[in-house]
């Protein structure tokens, strides 16, 4: 590798590291990422929800609500400043549901790939970790919805791009997205439609490293990022260097919802749905979403096992 190539890589790495460091400090200033969870929004016991728990349901640990969560990114779930306490919107919701059921919350950090077997085998009572309702998942799990699955289009704050609403709006653009995700599936379908209509193709870009993707957008190597609205809106509210110019359902062209996920037929889903609906009514649910800048993803009501995204090919 030539000296200048190495120098450019080192410079890019330094800029990315500086960007992450600044964002981390700003995040702690704007959002409470301390390990002190005593200021979480709390709820009262919900006797109706408790009575809705199936008589034969056994919690993993008596008196506790054992919930799996993947600390993947703020504001959904992330590690606090002590690098071990999990904080964010999903942990806060888990706390509210535990309170409603008259239980102590036992939050267990897990890798994303580990939650399905853990819930199905009874290792966890539930997973609350940005899980989208799909018809395939409904064969093994029950769902209690609590947030809309929304994807966002984000550009540099000074970008001339002001609105993205349909496929033609991204024709010819360089778009960052996540490999193997719903958003990749959508953007590739939009590209297919554009090409079929004689429009310029999209250049899709993938970055495993968050800082590298941010740097690509800020440097102009990419025009747009299309990823989960929650995490990117959170980053935009901290750094002020990006802006949202459009949103789409995570199940485009269908709507999709995020849900508390429990074992199929376990007898807990209806109780959780009832609890969430009462939390929506009394405003506690809204307080949590507002705290983490997720108000735009609120649902009007929780549902047990609503129609989910269809299986591939159906």
Q: Which of 13-17, 138-142, 202-206, 287-291 has the lowest mean pLDDT?
A: 13-17
Q: Is the pLDDT score of 191 beyond 80?
A: yes
Does the global pTM surpass 0.85?
no
* Mean of the per-residue pLDDT values of the chain: 89
Q: Residue 44: pLDDT band by 50, 70, 90 thresholds?
A: very high
The whole-angstrom separation of Cα 221 and Cα 173 is 10
For residues 36-54, average pLDDT:
96
Q: How many CB atoms lie within 10 A of CB 11?
A: 10
Q: Is the pLDDT score of 19 beyond 70?
A: no
Q: Is the pLDDT score of 75 beyond 80?
A: yes
For residues 49-60, average pLDDT:
97
Q: Which of 27-36, 85-94, 133-142, 281-290 has the lowest mean pLDDT?
A: 27-36
Which residues fall within 8 angstroms of residue 101, CB to CB, at 6 or more apart? Answer: 45, 46, 49, 50, 53, 65, 271, 272, 275
Q: Is the pLDDT score of 27 beyond 90?
A: no
Read off the pLDDT of residues 245-270 as tens digits, 9 standing for 90 and up: 999 998 899 989 999 999 999 999 99
Q: Is the pLDDT score of 62 beyond 50?
A: yes
Strand partners, 242: 156
Residue 233, pLDDT score: 84
Read off the pLDDT of residues 96-127 as tens digits, 9 standing for 90 and up: 999 999 999 999 999 989 999 999 999 999 99
Residue 181, pLDDT score: 82
The whole-angstrom separation of Cα 168 and Cα 185 is 16
């Amino acid at each position: 590798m030539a000296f200048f190539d190495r120098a450019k890589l080192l410079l890019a790495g330094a800029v990315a590291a500086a960007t992450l460091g600044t964002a981390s400090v700003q995040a702690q200033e704007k959002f409470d990422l301390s390990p002190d969870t005593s200021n979480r929004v709390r709820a009262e016991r919900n006797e109706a929800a408790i009575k809705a728990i199936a008589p034969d349901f056994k919690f993993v640990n008596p008196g506790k609500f054992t919930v799996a969560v993947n600390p993947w990114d703020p504001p959904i779930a992330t590690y606090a400043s002590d690098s071990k306490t999990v904080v964010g919107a999903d942990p806060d919701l888990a706390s509210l549901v535990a309170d409603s059921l008259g239980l102590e919350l036992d939050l267990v950090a897990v890798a994303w790939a580990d939650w399905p077997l853990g819930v199905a085998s009874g290792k966890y009572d539930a997973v609350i970790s940005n899980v989208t309702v799909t018809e395939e998942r409904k064969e093994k799990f029950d769902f209690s919805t609590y947030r809309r699955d929304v994807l966002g289009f984000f550009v540099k704050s000074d970008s001339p791009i002001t609105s993205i609403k349909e496929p033609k709006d991204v024709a010819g653009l360089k778009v960052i997205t996540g490999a193997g995700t719903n958003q990749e599936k959508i953007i590739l379908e939009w590209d297919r439609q554009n090409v079929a209509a004689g429009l310029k193709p999209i250049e899709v870009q993938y970055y495993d490293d968050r800082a590298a993707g941010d740097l690509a957008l800020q440097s102009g190597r990419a025009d747009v990022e299309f990823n989960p609205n929650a995490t990117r809106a959170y980053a935009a509210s901290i750094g002020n260097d990006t802006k949202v110019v459009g949103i789409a359902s995570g199940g485009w062209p269908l709507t999709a919802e995020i849900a508390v996920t429990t074992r199929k037929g376990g007898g807990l889903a209806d109780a959780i749905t009832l609890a969430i609906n009462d939390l929506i009514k009394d405003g506690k649910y809204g307080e949590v979403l507002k705290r983490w800048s997720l108000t735009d993803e609120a649902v009007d009501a929780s549902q047990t096992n609503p129609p989910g995204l269809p299986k591939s090919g159906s």
